[in-house]
Amino acid sequence: MRVVELFAGVGGFRLGFEDANLKLGHEYYKIVWSNQWEPATKTQHASITYRENWNLTEYNKENNYTNADNDDIHSNEDISMVDIADIPDHQMVVGGFPCQDYSVAKTLNKSAGIKGIKGVLWWEIYRIIEGKKPEYALLENVDRLLKSPTSQRGRDFAIMLSALDKLGYDVEWRIITASDYGMPQRRKRVFILAYRRDTPLSKMLRSKSPSNWIKSNGVFAKAFPVSIDALQTSLFEQKPPMQSIMDKRNYELHEVSDSFNLGKSKSTPFLSAGLMIEGEFFTQKVTPVYNQKIETLGDIMVESKSVEIEYLISPNDLLRDKGWIYQKGAKREPRKGTGGFTYLYSEGPVTFPDALDKPSRTIITGEGGSGASRFKHVVKFKLSNPQIKWLENHNQDEITRVRELIGLDNSEWLRRLTPVELERLNMMPDNHTLGHSASKRAFLMGNALVVGVVEKLAISLSEILNDSQ
């Protein structure tokens, strides 16, 4: 299957497809064209990483590349400036399109959603699907997408569903938390799989009941098993299962934008799993089912002796005003707002240090750098000789106080995660991002996806397609 990868980052989708090919025993998926462009960034770190890992030449129109002559081109240019004719024909388009406007890093009432600067890049996906008509599209975004914006919960996702409907596609979606299926990071994302209506998958979808497709028969169900509680099942049996995106079949996309869920509900109609067929959708809340080994943060940590001194946290940085212990702890304190008024700010503590016997928290783009942060990972580890000598050069009273406060024995200390550990949390090869600063490598991992999720979906899709033939 020929695949085009959009908003490719450091190649998470490609790695997932390659891992799937290894499991399948042959090259079922082949990336024929990829695009990665970060606006307002002089050095294109993600694109450089992608090209170097697969030994690709950067696409340049001056090179007179043609689709006929090149089957693996990497484009580092604004996707809106790429001609449809320059993109090879393909059977599947994939991409984790920019999610900043929907991200949980922003408060929901500040989310610009699909009208935001990065949100509008959805329409570039739409343009390519419209122009190339691939059989399938596999897309990834933050789960907040299903609730955006606050004024019209679910509107942005409804627009996307409607746009795909207009192009002749049925859609299946699922919110997947990687750690629910044994992977080492609690990264939650919504995955969207669109089928062109003349494909075997679309025909299979229509032959099954919506609930059975979600629970048993669909691509997501086979890759990531779920259960549906009896109450839900009973409720869905008592009312029509399908809901219309719009009250009428012939509607314009701007009507969805203007009116979807306007003044009707403060909650989104789109639950954690669902599907859409010709403008009507069915959605259910599902519970992950997984009974195998779960990889933990402790499982992916590198040997202590290989950890460079720069990742260790000094006693002073832990104890100082606004330092690590303060950032990680509970707070109840007066603060001044932007208008000069004073308000009482409060928040509870976070786990500190991070638990090693559980999957890690989600990596964020601000993971890098030595500055104290509430959100960066900090782990307890056994000191090796160079690290012991480093610690001996610090204030011994401060060392003793830290150990008493946090519960460390004389052989233990605290450090940040290394770039290799961050790569492992996304199930990427060690040193996949080598060549950039540690801070930039952390940033790239905060923007990446968990490769294992793509691998499982790719295997499930190939198996269902083979069964349909």
The string of pLDDT tens digits covering residues 324-341 is 999 999 999 998 888 888
Contact 201, 136 (CB under 8 A): yes
pLDDT at site 153: 92
Among residues 391, 195, 191, the alpha carbon closest in space to that of 304 is found at 391
What's this model's pTM, rounded to 2 decimal places? 0.92
Residues 260, 368 share a domain: no
Query: How does DSSP assign 70-81, residue by residue?
Result: -SSEEE-S-GGG
Residues 260 and 143 in one domain: yes
**For residue 67, what are the contacts with CB-CB under 8 A and spacing of at least 6?**
86, 87, 88, 89
Q: What one-character-per-residue DSSP string does 157-190 give? A: HHHHHHHHHHTTEEEEEEEEEGGGGT-SB--EEE
| Angle between helices 438-446 and 45-54 in degrees, nearest 10 | 90
Residue at 443 is within a domain: no
CA–CA separation, 282 and 215 (whole Å): 12
Domain assignment of residue 440, yes or no = no
Q: Which of 98, 127, 129, 128 is nearest to 114 (CA)?
A: 98
- Among 121-130, 162-171, 331-340, 405-414, where is mean pLDDT lowest? 331-340
Tell me if 87 sits within 8 A of 77, measured CB to CB.
no
When the pLDDT of each residue in the chain is averaged and rounded to a whole number, the result is: 90
> What is the longest distance spanned by two Cα atoms in the chain?
74
Q: Is residue 84 a part of any domain in this protein?
A: yes
425 located within any domain: no
Within this chain, do residues 212 and 126 fall inside the same structural domain, yes or no? Answer: yes
Considering the domain architecture, whether residues 54 and 122 belong to the same structural domain is answered as yes
Q: Are 124 and 258 within one domain?
A: yes
CA 128 to CA 130: how far, in whole Å? 5
* CATH number, domain with residue 252: 3.40.50.150
Give the pLDDT confidence of 142-171 residue by residue, as tens digits. 999 999 888 889 988 999 999 999 999 999
On whether both 65 and 157 belong to a single domain, the answer is yes
Q: What percent of the chain has pLDDT over 90?
A: 75
Determine how many CB atoms are found less than 10 A away from the CB of residue 247.
Answer: 8
Do 144 and 272 fall within a single domain?
yes
User: Between residues 317 and 119, which one has the greater pLDDT?
Assistant: 317
DSSP 121: G
Residue 288: partners with Cβ closer than 8 Å, 6 or more residues away: 177, 180, 181, 224, 225, 226
Quote the domain boundaries for residue 400.
Answer: 303-417
pLDDT band with cut points at 50, 70 and 90 for residue 425: very high
Q: How buried is 337 (Cβ within 10 angstroms: 0-12 exposed, 13-18 middle, 19+ buried)?
A: exposed
Q: Name the one residue in this structure whose structure tokens are 């993971």.
A: 367
Hey, what amino acid is at 392? Answer: E
259-276 in b/e form (b: 16+ CB < 10 A) is bbbeeeeeebbbbbbbbb
Note whether residue 264 is domain-resident: yes
Query: Is the distance from CB of 136 to CB of 195 less than 8 angstroms?
Result: yes
Helical axes 200-207 vs 451-468, angle rounded to 10°: 80
Kindly tell me the sign of the dihedral angle through the C-alpha atoms of 107, 112, 117, 122.
positive
Q: Are residues 28 and 158 in the same domain?
A: yes
pLDDT score, position 106: 44
Number of domains in the chain: 2
CA angle 264, 268, 273 (to 5 degrees): 140
Instruction: Please give the Cα distance from 314 to 415 (Å, whole number).
Output: 9
114 in Cβ contact with 120 (< 8 Å): yes
In terms of phi and psi (left: phi > 0; alpha: psi -120 to 50; beta: otherwise), the region of 154 is left
Note whether 210 and 313 are same-domain residues: no
8 A C-beta contact, residue 170 and residue 275: yes
Segment 177-198, tens digit of pLDDT: 999 999 999 999 999 999 999 9
- Indicate whether 163 and 312 sit together in one domain: no
The crossing angle, in degrees rounded to 10, of helices 122-132 and 155-166 is 10
* pLDDT tens-place string over residues 228-266: 876 665 555 555 578 999 888 888 888 888 888 988 888
Say if 265 falls within a structural domain. yes
Show the tokens assigned to 201.
Answer: 């998958």
Q: Are residues 282 and 317 in the same domain?
A: no
In a domain, 41, yes or no: yes
Residue 423 lies in a domain: no
Q: Annotated catalytic residue: which of 8, 79, 82, 99?
A: 99
Each residue's pLDDT tens digit, 23-80: 999 999 999 999 999 988 899 999 999 999 999 877 666 665 555 456 788 999 999 9
Type of residue found at 366: G
Distances (CA, A) of 44 to 41, 48, 197, 400, 426: 6, 6, 37, 44, 21
Long-range pairs for 228-231: beta carbons < 8 A, 24 or more residues apart:
228/284, 228/285, 228/286, 228/287, 229/287
173 lies in the same domain as 223:
yes
Average pLDDT rounded to a whole number, residues 432-461: 97
Assess whether 257 carries a catalytic annotation. Answer: no
